[in-house]
C-alpha cells in the first residue's frame, strides 16, 4: 500500500510539473524532484526508517517543490497544501498527512529544528551539491535566478557565491554526511580551481599587483618627503635673503646706485621663489565628507582622511563596509588613492621646479645686472 501511494504521488507530480511548471525553471523542475526523491530513498534506507516515516519522507520529497507552479516565494506552504489535498483522496491518515506537510515545510532555507525526517529531507534537498554534474545543476539555478530577478549574474560572481554557500552548508545527519559529504568536498575543490582560473586578476588576488602597489605608494611618499625638504630649503634660503641680505643691500644702495637694480631683482626673485615653495607644501583643500551616493558609485577613497574627517562614525562605518565588501569597489579605492597621490606629487614637483628656476635665473640676473651697472 505504501509503495503504491509513493508511485501514484510521483505520477501525479510528474504530470503536474510537466503541464503547469514554466520551462524557465531550469533548477526547480522535475529533474530536481527526481534527484531529491532518489536521495531520500537512499537516506531512508541508510537510516532504517519505519514504514510510516519512510512513506512520509518519500512523499514529502516528491511534493516538496510543486508550489513553484503557483508562487515561488511561498512554494513550501503551497507544496504542503497540494500534497495534503492529494493524500486526502488516497485515504491516508491525518497523522501521516501532517508528517508529510511538516517535512515539506522543513525545506525552507531559514528552517530550524531537530526533527529527524526534516533533517533527512534537507540533506536530500542539498544532495545536488554532491552530484557529478553539479556544475550543470548550478548553471541551471543561475539561469533560473536571472530569469526571476531580471539581473545578470556573471559566471565569476556565481562561482564565488556557490563557493561561499558550499563552505557554509553541511549535511545534518550522519547518513547524509556519509553518502554526500565526500563528493560535496570534491565538487567544492573543483569549483575553487575553476574560479581561480576564471577570476580576473585584481589587486586583491594578485601578489604581483600588491607588491607593485606597495612599492609605488612607498616611492610616492618618499618623493613627497624629498619635495617638502627641497621646498623647506628654498624657504629658509629666501627667508635669510629677505630678512638679512636685502636690508644690507638697500642700506648700501643709497651710496652705491649700481646696487639698486640688482637689489630689486633679488627681492622679486626671493618673494616669487617663496610663493612657489609655499604653494608646493600647502595642503590641498579637502571636503572631509563623502556621500553614500558617491561611495555606491565607486567614486571616492575612504582610506584618505581628507574624504571622511567630517563624517560621523556611523556614516564612515557604513561606507567602509561597502568598500571592503566589494572587491571591485576596493580595487577602485586603492587605485584612486595611488592616482590622486601621484597627481598631487606631480603638482608639488611642478611648483618646486618653478621655485628653483625662478631662484636660479633671478640670482644670475641680479649678478649680471650688477656687473653691467659697474661697467656703465
What 8-state DSSP symbol labels residue 35? H
- Phi/psi zone of residue 302: left (φ > 0), alpha (ψ -120 to 50 degrees), beta? alpha
Output the pLDDT for position 324: 79
Lowest mean pLDDT among 3-12, 201-210, 235-244, 332-341: 201-210
Average pLDDT, the chain: 89
Q: Nine-digit cell at 357?
A: 628656476
Lowest mean pLDDT among 12-21, 72-81, 112-121, 203-212: 203-212
Q: Cell 510528474, residue? A: 14
Output the pLDDT for position 205: 61
Residue 255, φ and ψ in degrees, nearest 5: -95, -15
pLDDT digits over 343-365, tens only? 889 999 999 999 999 999 999 99
243 contacts: CB under 8 Å, gap ≥ 6: none
The total of other beta-carbon atoms located within 10 Å of residue 335's CB is 13
Output the pLDDT for position 201: 57
Residue 310 CA, distance from chain mean position: 25
Classify 25 as helix, strand or coil.
Answer: coil
- Name the band, by pLDDT with cuts 50, 70 and 90, for residue 304: confident
pLDDT digits over 306-325, tens only? 888 888 998 888 888 888 77
Mean pLDDT of 277-281: 90
Classify 62 as helix, strand or coil.
Answer: helix
Q: Which one has a higher pLDDT value, 208 or 267? A: 267
Q: Nine-digit cell at 110?
A: 531559514
Lowest mean pLDDT among 34-48, 55-69, 93-107, 244-258: 244-258
Is residue 1 pLDDT above 60, yes or no? Answer: no
Q: Nine-digit cell at 115?
A: 526533527
- Phi/psi zone of residue 173: left (φ > 0), alpha (ψ -120 to 50 degrees), beta? beta
Closest listed residue to residue 247, CA positions, set 231, 273, 270:
270
249 contacts: CB under 8 Å, gap ≥ 6: 259, 262, 263, 266
Closest listed residue to residue 224, CA positions, set 355, 352, 336, 356:
352
Mean pLDDT of 272-276: 93
Closest listed residue to residue 40, CA positions, set 18, 10, 83, 84:
10
Is residue 204 pLDDT above 70, yes or no? Answer: no
Burial label, 83 (beta-carbon count in 10 A; 0-12, 13-18, 19+): buried
Contact 274, 235 (CB under 8 A): yes
Task: Compute the distance between CA of residue 70 and CA of residue 340 in angstroms, rounded to an integer.
Answer: 54
279 contacts: CB under 8 Å, gap ≥ 6: 351
Torsion of CA 366, 368, 371, 373, to 10 degrees: -70
Contact 112, 172 (CB under 8 A): no
Quickly list DSSP for 153-203: --HHHHHHHHHHHHHH---SSHHHIIIIIHHHHHHHHHHHHHHHHHSPP-T
Output the pLDDT for position 67: 96
Mean pLDDT of 103-125: 93
Q: Which one has a higher pLDDT value, 12 or 317? A: 12
- Name the band, by pLDDT with cuts 50, 70 and 90, for residue 202: low
Closest listed residue to residue 40, CA positions, set 113, 114, 133, 106:
106
pLDDT digits over 133-169, tens only? 999 999 999 999 999 999 999 888 899 899 999 998 8
Percent of the chain with pLDDT over 90: 55
- Name the band, by pLDDT with cuts 50, 70 and 90, for residue 12: very high
Mean pLDDT of 326-332: 76
Closest listed residue to residue 68, CA positions, set 79, 57, 60:
79
Percent of the chain with pLDDT over 70: 97
What 8-state DSSP symbol labels residue 29? S
Is residue 192 pLDDT above 60, yes or no? Answer: yes
Burial label, 334 (beta-carbon count in 10 A; 0-12, 13-18, 19+): buried
Amino acid at each position: 500500500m505504501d509503495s503504491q501511494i509513493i508511485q501514484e504521488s510521483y505520477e501525479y507530480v510528474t504530470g503536474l510539473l510537466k503541464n503547469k511548471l514554466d520551462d524557465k525553471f531550469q533548477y526547480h523542475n522535475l529533474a530536481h524532484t527526481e534527484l531529491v526523491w532518489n536521495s531520500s530513498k537512499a537516506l531512508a534506507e541508510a537510516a532504517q526508517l519505519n514504514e510510516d516515516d519512510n512513506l512520509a519522507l518519500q512523499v514529502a520529497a516528491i511534493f516538496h517543490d510543486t508550489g513553484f507552479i503557483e508562487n515561488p516565494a511561498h512554494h513550501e506552504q503551497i507544496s504542503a497544501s497540494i500534497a495534503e489535498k492529494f493524500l486526502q483522496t488516497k485515504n491516508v491518515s491525518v497523522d501521516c498527512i501532517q508528517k508529510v506537510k511538516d517535512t515539506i515545510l522543513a525545506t525552507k532555507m531559514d528552517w530550524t529544528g531537530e526533527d529527524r525526517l526534516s533533517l533527512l529531507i534537507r540533506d536530500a534537498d542539498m544532495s545536488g551539491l554532491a552530484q557529478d554534474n553539479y556544475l550543470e545543476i548550478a548553471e541551471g539555478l543561475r539561469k533560473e535566478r536571472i530569469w526571476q530577478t531580471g539581473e545578470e549574474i556573471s559566471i565569476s560572481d556565481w562561482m564565488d557565491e556557490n563557493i561561499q554557500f558550499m563552505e557554509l552548508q553541511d549535511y545534518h545527519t550522519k547518513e547524509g554526511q556519509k553518502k554526500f559529504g565526500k563528493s560535496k568536498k570534491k565538487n567544492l575543490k573543483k569549483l575553487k580551481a575553476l574560479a581561480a582560473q576564471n577570476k580576473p586578476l585584481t589587486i586583491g588576488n594578485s601578489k604581483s599587483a600588491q607588491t607593485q602597489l606597495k612599492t609605488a605608494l612607498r616611492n610616492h611618499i618618499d618623493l613627497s618627503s624629498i619635495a617638502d625638504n627641497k621646498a623647506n630649503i628654498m624657504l629658509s634660503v629666501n627667508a635669510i635673503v629677505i630678512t638679512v641680505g636685502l636690508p644690507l643691500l638697500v642700506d648700501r644702495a643709497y651710496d652705491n646706485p649700481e646696487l639698486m637694480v640688482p637689489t630689486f631683482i633679488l627681492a622679486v626673485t626671493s618673494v616669487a621663489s617663496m610663493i612657489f615653495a609655499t604653494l608646493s607644501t600647502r595642503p590641498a583643500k579637502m571636503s572631509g565628507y563623502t556621500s553614500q551616493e558617491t561611495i555606491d558609485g565607486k567614486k571616492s577613497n575612504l582610506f584618505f582622511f581628507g574624504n571622511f574627517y567630517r563624517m560621523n562614525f556611523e556614516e564612515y562605518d557604513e561606507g567602509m563596509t561597502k568598500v571592503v565588501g566589494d572587491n571591485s569597489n576596493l580595487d577602485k579605492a586603492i587605485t584612486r588613492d595611488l592616482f590622486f597621490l601621484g597627481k598631487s606629487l606631480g603638482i608639488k614637483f611642478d611648483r618646486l621646479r618653478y621655485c628653483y628656476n625662478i631662484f636660479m635665473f633671478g640670482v644670475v640676473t641680479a649678478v649680471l645686472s650688477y656687473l653691467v651697472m659697474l661697467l656703465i
